[in-house]
Amino acid sequence: MAMATEHSHMLGILVLLISLLALTKPSMADDIPMNFSRSYFPDGFVFGVSTSAYQIEGEANERGRGPSVWDVFTHESPERIMDGSNGDAGVDFYNTFKADIKRMKLNGIDAYRFSISWSRIIPSLEPFVTIFHWDTPQALEDKYGGFLSSDIVDDFHDYADFLFEKFGDRVKYWMTLNEPWAVTGLAYDEGIHAPGRCSFWVNRQCSAGNSATEPYIVAHHLLLSHAAAVQTFREKYQKIQKGKIGITLFTFWYEPISNKTVDKEAAKTALDFMFGLFMDPITYGQYPRRVQTLVGDRLPTFTDVESQLLRGSYDFVGLQYYTSYYAKANATIDPNHIRYKTDSQVTQTAYDDDGQPIGPQAYSPWLYIYPKGIRHILNYTKDTYNNPVIYITENGVDEYNNKSKTWEQGTNDQHRIDYLKAHMWNVLGSIKDYNVNVKGYFALSFLDKFEWNMGYSSRFGLHYVDYKNNMTRHPKNSATWFCLFLKNWPMGSRCPVNSYNIAYN
């Protein structure tokens, strides 16, 4: 078993190196042409925007919606949100969606990715629907602990079944889970996302939890919930409704901090713990061997039936990329303080050995701008996971919500234009130079919105939302750029994004 484990891990490192070497071959120049537009991409390539229910909807206590874990988390522990805010009002999308969707259409956007709130159940844009975007009903959290219990699998199955039955005639692209890593790592290891559980020594704001075991239990039940939903969709609905189903996974890219073999191994291991923890089971039916070895009996196991259900349980993969880090081997682990974040025995850092950052830092403390990382992870995914169909379902950058700025000042976001352009160029590079099967790209996000533990302090939107003035929308410069990009119009043209006047009704 040890030999098989090491053999598998070395193969993984070879795949990582091949993906990296692909970028050293003659390929698309790094200089982005002035006329770069959607015309450079293959026919049928989908361009969209992404968001989620809790972040934008509002009307949290109305229209028959029950509370989610995020409602309770933000109300009972406002000090755990950077600005003490919550998603009660969101950006009032519940009441303004018709106007906002009209804006999207005028902008030339093809598709809109959104989530349906599990605790709520509720023309010409292709809907990409996320079934679960972190808002576990508080009733299930109170009843059996939410995703800590295997009972969640049947309830999630029933919820997904309901959505397929009611909306499958209109929705052709389903995603079971949004970023299960964030639930696993941020909610149950670090305790900074709802329901805010972790070991007390990790975060003193956590009143309960175990960072050594709960992240893996939750990941396991998330995967089984995904498999149950996919099985039902394929058996009952897919042939009739002609839809497709997948999952959205968030990952960093990891660069070895040096050319040492141990650091190259560390980069692969870091990917296994973040990306492979979910991608391996849904492709091969098992957790990565390196994860199995390092976590040991704290890692749940799949039965043969569960493994079979998981294997190949997607028609496409949604990939969410924002940033990259350096990986450095670190075998020094405190046996009295075991947790998911350190199980990989890898130090993750944004700075190289000379103290230089991997890229410019955005407002979010975790986000460093490294456009080539998206090309690396796409190439790696093709090589490691049998060249799946991929949609980039989130990619974007934020800025600080400076309350002293006017909305006119807040719409000047050249950094976002540069970020989106560079990342889309690298996506195109993976398609053209490495034949990666990428079918679409979704920018995050159309509107500024509630940013989880960052509250409203962070703005990711193409459109500025004036929180102090009726949630009025104002297109940022990036919205104009994206509109011209999508319409293949010369830069400097007048885009409808600057001229519409849409009533909120």
Catalytic residue numbers, as ranges:
179, 394
Measured distance CA(378)–CA(142) in Å, rounded: 39
Q: Are 131 and 177 in contact (CB under 8 A)?
A: yes
Closest CA to 215 of 295, 307, 157, 331: 295
Backbone angles phi, psi at 300, to 5 degrees: -60, 160
Helix/strand/coil for 172: coil
For 276-313, b where at least 16 C-beta lie within 10 A, e where not — what string?
Answer: bbbbbbbbbbebbbbbbbbbeebbbebeeebeebbeeb
Instruction: Give the N- to C-terminal CA distance of the chain in Å, as an integer.
Output: 63
Closest CA to 292 of 282, 283, 281: 281
Backbone angles phi, psi at 482, to 5 degrees: -65, -40
- Return the sign of the alpha-carbon dihedral for residues 346, 347, 352, 354: negative
Containing 255, the helix (H) or strand (E) segment is strand 253-256
Q: Are 68 and 54 in contact (CB under 8 A)?
A: yes
Q: Is the peptide bond before 300 cis (omega within 30 degrees of 0)?
A: no
N residues, the chain: 505
Q: SS3 for 298-361, per residue?
A: HCCCCCHHHHHHHCCCCCEEEEECCCEEEEEECCCCCCCCCCHHHHCCEEEECECCCCCECCCE
Helix/strand/coil for 370: coil
Widest CA span in the chain:
66
The CA dihedral of 270, 274, 277, 279, to the nearest 10 degrees, is: -110
Per-residue tokens: 484: 């011209």
Alpha carbon of residue 494 to chain centroid: 32
Report angle CA 349, 351, 352 to the nearest 5 degrees. Answer: 110
Measured distance CA(321)–CA(392) in Å, rounded: 8
